[in-house]
Structure 1
Amino acid sequence: MIRFGLRLAVAGGREALTRLLVIAAAVAIGSGLLLTTLAGINAVNAQLTRYASIYPNASTGGDADPLWWSTREDYFHGQQIIRIDVAATGPDAPTPTGIRSTPGPGEYYTSPALRKLLAAHPADQLADRYPGRDIGTVGPAGLTSPDTLLVIRGGTPDEVAGLPLAMQRTTVGDTPALPETTMNLILGVIAGGLLFPLLIFVGTATRLNAARREQRFAAMRLVGATPKQISVVAAVEAATAAVAGTALGFILFYASRGAMADIPFTGMPFFPSDMSLGVLDILLVALGAPAGAAAAAQFSLRRVRISPLGVTRRVTPRAPRAYRLIPMMLGVAVLFLAIGFRPPTSDGQAAVFLPGLLLIMAGLILAGPWLTMVGARVMARYASRPATLIAARRLADNPKAGFRAISGIMLALFVTTVAVGVITTIVANRGPAPVGSTEAGQVSLYLPEDAPAAPDSLFTDLRSITGVRSAFAVRENPDWMSASEPGLIACAEIPSAYGRCAEGAAVAEVATGLIPFRESASSTRVWPAASVPLGELRQLPVMSIVVDTDGSAATIERSRTALETALPAFRVAPNVPGDFESEFANTLRGWEQLANVIIIASLTLGGCSLAVSVIGGLTERRRPFSLLRLSGAPVRVLRRVVALESAVPMLAVAAVAIGMGLLAAHLFLRAQMGYTLIAPEPRFSVIVVVGLAACLGVIASTLPLLERITGPETARSE
C-alpha cells in the first residue's frame, strides 16, 4: 500500500501534482519559521549566558591566582557602554573571555563596535575616558551581541580593588545563564501566536480537494479496501509532500539565518552562530512536520472510515451556541480583577495574567464560528443582492468552515496587538527625556559616601566647556531624615530653569539632581529653606555634581568625559535623564519590531491559507456553480459570492481581535503599572491595513479560476 500511495501521489495527474506542490510549500514555510523560532530561543539563551559572564558573581575556589574584576556601565549618545576593569594578582590568574591575555595597567581591549565609535568622535568626547594603550579587540566569545560596546581595562590590584562592585574571580566564562521568566513568557506567547497560523496553513493545504479525495477513497472502500489501507495511502500521500517541504524548510532557514540574526529581538542583534539548532530541534521538525501533515490527512478522512457511503451523507452541521463566548469573558474578568488584586510577587502576577490572556486567546478561537454565524445572519437579513444572500446563507449554514482558514489571522492579530499596545505605552511613559527639555541637557554624577573629594579644578574645567551654562555641587543634607529633600545647595547657584529659593533663604533643600523623581524641571518651583548656614555648606560631603548644558550631544559627552576623568571610581556613570530609560526603550522597541515581523508573517500565512481554502472550495463546488451559471447567474455574481464568503469573516474577526487585544493590553497596563493605554503608532495600523489588503488581493487572484472550472461540461451528471 505504501508503493501504491506513492504512485497515487506522484502520478495522479495535474490535480495531484498541484496538491503536492501546495502541501510542500506550506510545510516548507511552516517548518522554516518553526526552525527560526527554535533557533531564536537558542540564540537568546546563548546571549544571556554571555551576558551573565560579563556580570559575574565572585568565585574564589581553586588554586588559580585571583583576578580582580569590576563591571560598570557608561553611556554615549544614549548607548550603553560596558566597562570592565581587571587586575591579575599572579601569573595563574584567569584571562577574561574573548581576549588573548589580561591587560596590564594602562592597557585596554575594545569591542569592534566601540572601536568604530572611538574613531568616529573627538577624543574629548569619548576616548579620553579610557586613557592608555589599545592592545586589541574583544572577540565574539566575550560579547553579547555584534553591537555591544565593551571595554576591558587593566589596572593594578589596589586600583581595581578600590573600584565599586569589585570582586575576586578564579574562573571566568563559566557563569550560567540567568533565568529570564519575562523574556521566556514573551517568546512563548509570540511563538504560540506564530505557530498557530502555521498549523492552520499546513492543515488547510493538506485538506486541499478533501471532498474529491474522499470520493476517490470511498470508491476504493467499495471495491474492498479496508480503513487501514485507506489510512496508509492517505498518510503516504501527505507525508511525501511534507518530507519534501521539510527539506526545503531547512534550506530556507539556513539561507535566511544571517538576515534573521540581524533582527534585534531582544533589543540587540545576534551573532549568526547563535541562531543554531540542537539535535532535538532538528528531530522535532524533521519528524514532526511530516507526522503532522499525515495526521491532518487522517483527520480529513474521518467520514470515509465510518462508512464508504458516509461521503454522500452531507447535512447542515449544528449551529454554534453562545456559550462559546464564556472563556473569552472569563479571561477579561480575570484581567479586570487583577487591577484591584495584583499579587505582590512576579510568579503570582504571572499566575494571574498568563491564564487570563490564554483564556481570551482560547475564547477567541472558540467563539470565532459563533461570531461568523451571527455576522452571516445579519448580512443575510440586510442583503439586497443575490451574491450577498448566497454568501451569507452558506456562511450561516457552516460557520466553522468559514472561520477555519482565518482563525490564525485572528489569534495573530490579538497577540501582536497586545504586545504592541503594551510596548508603545511603556516606551511613552519610560522613554528618554524629550529633546529640547531642560532635563535633557543636564549631566549628573552621583557620588557614593566613600568617594574621594572632587578636585577644585573640576568645576573650572566644566565651566570652560563650550555649551556648559553652569556646574555646581549638591551637598548632603545632615537632616535628610526629617527634611523634605536630601540635598543642599547655595541659593545663588540654582539656575533659573530649576526654580528659586524661598524668600530670604541662603541655602535651600533640593533634590539630588535638582529634578524631583518622576517630575520635570520647573522655573516656578520654590525650594524650601535649609537650616544649615551658608558658611558651613562647603564643609559637607558632596552628594552629586550637576552640569547644566545647552543640550547638544557634543557638550553633554565632553562634560561626561571630564567628570569620569576627574572621578574614575564612579559607581553610577555620569548620566543624562533618559539614559537608563533609553536603554530600556530600545529593548522594548526590539520586541515591537519582532511583533511587527510576526504580524507580517502571520498575515502572509493567513493569506496563503485563504488562497488554498478558496481554491479548494471552488474545486469542490464546481458542479453547483456550473448549474448556477446554466440557470442564468453571471460569472461576476459567483465571483462576488466567493469574495464575500472569504473577505467578510476575515475583516470581522480582524476587528474583533484588534479590539480585544487593545482591551487586554489596557487592563494589563492598569493592573501591572497603573498606565493608561496609549494608541499604537500609525505604522502599526499601516502594517495591518496593508496585510489585510494583501490577503484580499490573494483572494481576488483566485477568482479568475472560477470561470475556467465552471463551464457547462462540469454540470454533467456524475
Structure 2
Amino acid sequence: MIRLGARLTVTGGREALVRFVMTAAAVALGTGLLLTVLASLHAMTAQNQRYAWLETGFVPPEPGAAVAADPVWWQLRGDTFDNRTIGRVDVATTGPDGPLPPGIEALPGPGEYVASPAMVELLASTPDEQLAARYGSPTLVGTIGEAGLPSPDSLLVVVGRTPAELAASPHAQQVTSIATTAPDRCEGETCAVGLGLNADAVALVVGVVAVGLVLPIAVLLGSATRLSSARREQRFAAMRLVGATPRQIRTIAAIEAAITAATGTVLGFAVLAVLRPVVAQVPFTGSRFFPDDVTLTVQDVVLVVVGIPLLAAVAARVALRRAVVSPLGVARRTTPPAPGAWRVAPLVTGIAWLGALAVVGPPEGTDAQLAAYLGGVAVVVAGLVVAGPWLTRAGSRVLVARTRRPAALLAARRVGDDPRAAFRAVSGLTLALFIGTAATATVTTFVAERGPTSTPTSTGDLIVQHLDVRRPVDAAYRVPEGLTDDLRDIAGVGAAAVLRVGPDAPPEELGLGDHWGMPAYARCDDLADLPSLGACAPGAEVALLAFDAFTDDEGVTWPTAALDPGALAERDPLSVVVRTDGSTSAVETARTVLSAALPDAQTPWTVHEAQASSTSSLALYGRLADVVVAVSLVVGGCSLAVGAAAGVSERKRPFALLRLTGAPLALLRRVVTYETAVPLLVGALVAVSAGFGAAQLFLRAQLGYDVHAPGTGYWIAVGIGLAVALGVIASTFDLLRRTTDPATTRTE
C-alpha cells in the first residue's frame, strides 16, 4: 500500500500531477511563512540578549559569573543625535585584568574610545562640534564586534576616562563582571531604562504572534492539504467499490498526503531562505536584525519537518471518512448535512469571555492578564472558524430570498448545499480581517489616548538639561561661568537660561495656582527671551515659576520672587533651557556644549525627543499591528487563492456539463464570483464587527477607554483587501474557461 500510495501521488496522470504541484506549492508557502515567523522570534530574542552587557551595574551578577581581579569604573548614559539613540559607556580601568564586554578586545584608556561601526560612520560624517566634542574628541582605538551589537544600526560608544574622573561622578560605580541578563529577564528597577524589550513586551509579541499569525498560517496549511479533496474522495470511493478495504484506502490517502506535504515542507525552507534577508531589514523592534540571527533551532526544524507531514496524513484520513463509510454515497455526490446553529456558541463564548473581563476586571499580574485576554481572543478566532459555515448558509438563504437571477440562484444553491467548503476558501481572509481590525482599533485608541499632543513651536524645539537636585548640597552641579554666553553664540540658538531650584513647597502654596511643574527661580531678562516659559510682572528682576517644559505658558505672568538677583547664583541649578530654531546643527551643537560642560549630568533632551521616548511602547505596538495586519492579509489572500482554484478544479464536471447544455461562460463566471463573494462578505462583516467588539472590551477592561474609530487608512486597507480578493476570484476565470471548454471535456 505504501508503494501504491507513493506511485499514485506522482504517476496518477496529469490531474494527479497538477494536484501534487499545487498542493506542494501551497504547503511550501504556508511552511515558509511559519518558519519565517519562528525565525523572527529567535532574532528578537538574540537581539534582546545582546543588550545584556549594557545592563552592567543595574543587575546583580548571575551565579557562577566570572569575576575579574581588577574592577572597572563604569557609567552608562543615554545620548541622542538627530532623534537617534546613542548608548554611551564611560569606563576607567584600575588594572590590566578588568572585565571585558563582548565584542571589545580591550577597554579604551583616557582620551580613547571604541565604537560600533555605525557610530564610527556617524562620527566621521558629523562635524566635531556637533558630536565628537561631547566625548572630549578622543582617539578611535577599536570597533565593537557583532557579539556586542544588538543591531547593525546600533550606535554605541565606550569612552575611556581616568579613575579619578569617574570616582567623582555620582552615577559611576565599580564593577568586576559584565552582565549577561537580558532586559526581558531583569526585574523592575534593576533594568536599565530604554534597553531592548522587557518581559511584558516579549510576552505581548509572542502572544500576539501566536494568535495573530500562526492561526491564519495554520488555516492556509489546512486549505492546502485539502486541495481537490472532493476529487480524491471520488477516486478513493471508486477504489472502495472495486474491493479496496477501508484500511488500505486510509493508508494510501495518508501516504499521498504525507509525501505531498513533505515535499512542500522542504520547499518551505527555500521560501525561508528568500524571506530571511528581507525580514532582517525590517526594523520591527525599532532596529534591524543581523541576518545570522534570523535562524531556526534544531527543535524548530524537527517539529516542522515531522509535524506538517504528520498532520497532513491525519487530516487526509479524517477527510476520507465519507468515502470509507459510504463509497456509493460519495460517488453519487450526496449532500452533506447542514451545519447547526450550535456553531455560533464558541463565537458567543469568546465575546462573553472578553465581556466578563470588562465587567469583573482583569486578573492580577501581567502574565495572568495576557493569558486571559489572548485566551479570549483565541476563542473568538476559533469561534469565527466554527461559526463560518452556519453564517455562510444563512447568507445564501438571504441571497435566494433577494434575487431571481440565474447566476445568483445557482451560486446560492451550491453554497447552501456545502457551506463548509464555501467558507473554507475565505476563512483565512476572514481571520485576517478580524485580527487586523482588533489590532488597528486597539493601537489607534492607545495613540489617541496616550500619544503626544500637538506641541506648540515655541516649546517643541527647547533643549532641556535637567540636573540631579537630589544630590547632596556640597556635591551639587556647578554650571560653568559663561555657559549661557557660549550657548547663545551658536548659530540657530535664540536664548539660553539657567533655572534655579525653588522653594520646597506645593505650587498652590507658592502662589503658582494650578500650574503643574517644579518650583524654580529665573531671571526676568532670561524669561523675556523664552516666552513659552511665561513672563515676569512689570519691574520684577527674578520670578518664581512652575517649570514644565511640556507646557506652553506663554502669556502667563509669574509672581515676583522675594529673592535678591545677586543671591540667585547661590541657589542650586535645576535646569539649563535653550531655545533653538530646530535645525540639527543648532540642536546638536548646543547639546554637545552642554554635555562637555556638564559631563556627569544626564544627556540634554528636546521636548520632541522626550515625547517620542514616552510613546516608544506605542511605536512598538504600532509596528506589531502593522506586521500582523500585513502578514495576516497576505496569508488570507493566499488561502483564498488556494481555495478558489481548488473550488473551480473540484467543480470541473458540473461546470462543464452546464456549459455543454448551453450556459454561457459569463454565467459560470458570475456563479463563481457569487459563490466566493457571499461567504467573503458575510465573513468580513462578522469579522470586522467582532474585531471592534473585542478591541472595545479589552480597552474597557484594561484601561477604561472606549475604542476610537481608525482613520481612513484602515478603511482603505480593508477596501483594497476585498478588491484584491475579488481579483483573486477573477484570476480563476481562465482556469474555468480551460476546464469547461467543450472541445476538451470528457465524460467522467
Task: Determine if the TM-score, normalized by the shorter chain, exceeds 0.5.
Answer: yes
Residue 14 of structure 1: how far off its partner (Å): 0.8
Listed one character per residue, the Cα deviations across residues 660-683 of structure 1 (whole Å, up to 9, x for unaligned) are 334433444455445555554555
Q: Aligned residue for 1:465?
A: 490
Q: Which amino acid in the other structure matches residue 333 of structure 1?
A: G
Residue 38 of structure 1: how far off its partner (Å): 1.2
2:188 paired with 1:168? no
Distance 1:164 1:266, change over 3 A: farther
Residue among 720, 730, 742 paired with 1:690: 720
Distance 1:530 1:661, change over 3 A: farther
2:313 paired with 1:294? yes
Residue 162 of structure 1: how far off its partner (Å): 3.4
Would the aligned equivalents of 2:739 and 2:745 in 1 still touch at CA under 8 Å? no
Residue 73 of structure 1: how far off its partner (Å): 0.4
What are the within-5 Å matches in structure 2 for residues 206-355 of structure 1? 206-311=225-330, 312=332, 314-321=334-341, 322-323=344-345, 325-334=347-356, 336-337=358-359, 341=361, 345-355=365-375
SS of the residue 2:43 aligns to:
helix
Would the aligned equivalents of 1:490 and 1:534 in 2 still touch at CA under 8 Å? no
Would the aligned equivalents of 1:424 and 1:679 in 2 still touch at CA under 8 Å? yes
Q: Which amino acid in the other structure matches residue 420 of structure 2?
A: K
SS of the residue 1:71 aligns to:
strand
How far apart in 2 are the matches of 1:509 and 1:404?
70
Residue among 364, 383, 393 paired with 2:403: 383
Q: Which moved more, 1:302-311 or 1:377-386?
A: 302-311
Q: Aligned residue for 1:510?
A: 545
Q: Aligned residue for 1:454?
A: 479
SS of the residue 2:468 aligns to:
coil
**Please, which runs of 5 or more residues in structure 2 have no aligned partner?**
186-198
SS of the residue 1:546 aligns to:
strand
Residue among 141, 144, 167 paired with 1:138: 144
Q: Which moved more, 1:272-281 or 1:303-312?
A: 303-312
Residue among 125, 132, 137 paired with 2:130: 125
Distance 1:526 1:61, change over 3 A: farther
Q: Considering only aligned residues, what root-mean-square deviation do their CA atoms show, in Å?
A: 2.8
Q: Aligned residue for 2:730?
A: 700
How far apart in 1 are the matches of 2:466 and 2:277?
42
Q: Aligned residue for 1:76?
A: 81
What are the within-5 Å matches in structure 2 for residues 317-716 of structure 1? 317-321=337-341, 322-323=344-345, 325-334=347-356, 336-337=358-359, 341=361, 345-427=365-447, 437-449=457-469, 450=471, 451-481=476-506, 483=510, 485-490=517-522, 492=524, 493-494=526-527, 495-501=530-536, 507-515=542-550, 520-528=551-559, 530=561, 532=563, 534=565, 536-570=567-601, 572-583=602-613, 585=615, 588-589=618-619, 592-593=622-623, 595-673=625-703, 677-680=707-710, 682-710=712-740
Listed one character per residue, the Cα deviations across residues 399-438 of structure 1 (whole Å, up to 9, x for unaligned) are 2222122222122222233333333444456556757622
SS of the residue 1:124 aligns to:
helix
How far apart in 2 are the matches of 1:36 and 1:670?
34
SS of the residue 1:525 aligns to:
coil
Distance 1:62 1:206, change over 3 A: closer
2:31 paired with 1:31? yes
How far apart in 2 are the matches of 1:691 and 1:325?
24
Residue among 139, 155, 160 paired with 1:154: 160
How far apart in 2 are the matches of 1:677 and 1:453?
49
SS of the residue 1:87 aligns to:
strand
**How many pairs were matched up?**
711
Residue 597 of structure 1: how far off its partner (Å): 4.3
SS of the residue 1:174 aligns to:
coil
SS of the residue 2:37 aligns to:
helix
Distance 1:431 1:332, change over 3 A: closer
SS of the residue 1:661 aligns to:
helix
Residue 349 of structure 1: how far off its partner (Å): 3.6
Distance 1:202 1:107, change over 3 A: same
Would the aligned equivalents of 1:474 and 1:513 in 2 still touch at CA under 8 Å? no
Q: Aligned residue for 1:11?
A: 11
How far apart in 2 are the matches of 1:356 and 1:511?
46
Residue 620 of structure 1: how far off its partner (Å): 3.0
How far apart in 2 are the matches of 1:394 and 1:697?
21
Q: Aligned residue for 2:195?
A: none
SS of the residue 1:569 aligns to:
coil
SS of the residue 1:559 aligns to:
helix
Distance 1:600 1:109, change over 3 A: same
Would the aligned equivalents of 1:31 and 1:246 in 2 still touch at CA under 8 Å? yes
Residue 258 of structure 1: how far off its partner (Å): 1.8
Residue 133 of structure 1: how far off its partner (Å): 1.0
Q: Which moved more, 1:686-695 or 1:90-99?
A: 686-695
Would the aligned equivalents of 1:444 and 1:513 in 2 still touch at CA under 8 Å? no
Residue 362 of structure 1: how far off its partner (Å): 3.0
Residue 543 of structure 1: how far off its partner (Å): 1.2
Distance 1:243 1:586, change over 3 A: same
Residue among 111, 115, 118 paired with 1:106: 111
Would the aligned equivalents of 2:537 and 2:560 in 1 still touch at CA under 8 Å? yes
Residue 684 of structure 1: how far off its partner (Å): 4.3
Percent identity, aligned pairs only? 46
**Please, which runs of 5 or more residues in structure 1 have no aligned partner?**
none
How far apart in 2 are the matches of 1:615 and 1:351?
38
Q: Which amino acid in the other structure matches residue 348 of structure 2?
A: I
Q: Which moved more, 1:480-489 or 1:1-10?
A: 480-489
Q: Which moved more, 1:360-369 or 1:428-437?
A: 428-437
Q: Which moved more, 1:459-468 or 1:74-83?
A: 459-468
How far apart in 2 are the matches of 1:307 and 1:160?
84
How far apart in 1 are the matches of 2:315 and 2:253?
10
Would the aligned equivalents of 1:110 and 1:137 in 2 still touch at CA under 8 Å? yes
SS of the residue 1:146 aligns to:
coil
SS of the residue 1:93 aligns to:
coil
Residue 112 of structure 1: how far off its partner (Å): 1.4
Q: Which amino acid in the other structure matches residue 35 of structure 1?
A: L
Q: TM-score, normalised by structure 1?
A: 0.91
Would the aligned equivalents of 2:114 and 2:143 in 1 still touch at CA under 8 Å? yes
Listed one character per residue, the Cα deviations across residues 647-669 of structure 1 (whole Å, up to 9, x for unaligned) are 23223323432343344334444
Distance 1:701 1:63, change over 3 A: closer
